[in-house]
Structure formats: C-alpha cells, structure tokens
Amino acid sequence: MLTTALEPTRYLRRTPPTGMLVVGRRPDGRLWVHRGDRQIPVIVRRCFPWTEPGRYISLRDADNHEVALVREAGDLEPRSRAVFEEALAEAGFVIEVQRVLAIDEEVEIRHWTVETRQGPRTFQTRLDDWPRVLPDGCLLMRDVVGDLYRLPVLDQSDAQTRDLLWPFVD
C-alpha cells in the first residue's frame, strides 16, 4: 500500500524531478498526485478568488494539508490536465440549468426561475450582476448566496431560454 504520510513543507515546495506535477486517478476513483517516487491521495479544493473558479486549485491530503497548488489546468501535461479537470468538475457545486423559464426584475434584485435536471428552481441575483461567458459558450451566474449556475449555450437552447438570455450576452 502506498503511504499517505507527508514530509515537512520543504518537500512540498520542491519542484518534482520531472519538472511537472502528475495527477492521476486510481481504479477506486481516488485522485492521486505523483511527485518523483511519492504518490499521495488528494482531494480538490478551490481557492479564492471565486471569480476565477478554474485557477488556483489546492490539492490536499487526507489531513487537509496542501500537497500542491495548481495555478491553472494548462500548467499540467495533457493526461494530468484531463484527470484534473474531471476532478475539478466533480468538486465544484455548479447547478446545471437546462431551461430558463422567467427572469423578473425588482428593486436591486433579479428573480430567476429555471429548470434543472433535479427539477424547477428559483434564485436571485443582484441587478448589477451579469453572467460570465465560459470558453464553451455557456454562461456562469452566481446568485446572492454564492451558488453557481451554469446556463446553457444560447444557440443550443430552446426559444424561450434564448429570448430571456440574449440581453446578457455581448
């Protein structure tokens, strides 16, 4: 069995002999970091700023000690990047919106009624908050309590969703 014990912090700050952090997934589904001859099971934790959810990701051991900090997925070699991005998607709590049913504005607040895979849902955003366009064309919106909503790509949406979302896209 591989050890999960960590050496002192000085080990964690060293550059791995290969010059790259290697991230892998074991058959049991757990995420592992490989550094030289060391293999450490890790979990993914997002760091601030929340405005950059795909950057500055902390990989932590079972005792919640940071094993590595990934500035962005592009810093990893291709196989590690694919595993890392999959783990990142699993770690994040992002509600997938299938359809937008209504958007109503009130003083300082916008009320959203949406349909998700889990059923209908409502949430509120500040009137001056706007969705961010993701590289894949989806929109990402944060509500007033901090939950993230991934809104569908406009040209792949139903007519009602397109009509309601078009004012939010350049």
Of 68, 66, 73, nearest to 87 by C-alpha is: 73
Structural domains counted in the chain: 2
pTM to 2 decimal places: 0.50
Of 29, 26, 87, 99, nearest to 60 by C-alpha is: 87
Domain containing 161: what range? 94-168
Q: Please give the mean pLDDT across all residues of the chain.
A: 81
Instruction: Tell me: do 71 and 117 sit in the same domain.
Output: no
Q: Quote the percentage of the chain above a pLDDT of 90.
A: 29
* Domain C-terminal end among 53, 83, 113: 83
Instruction: Tell me: do 102 and 163 sit in the same domain.
Output: yes
* Domain C-terminal end among 48, 83, 118: 83
* Domain C-terminal end among 58, 83, 108: 83
At 20-72, the pLDDT tens digits run 789 998 887 889 998 777 889 998 887 766 567 678 888 988 888 999 999 98
- Please give the single-letter amino acid code of residue 147: D
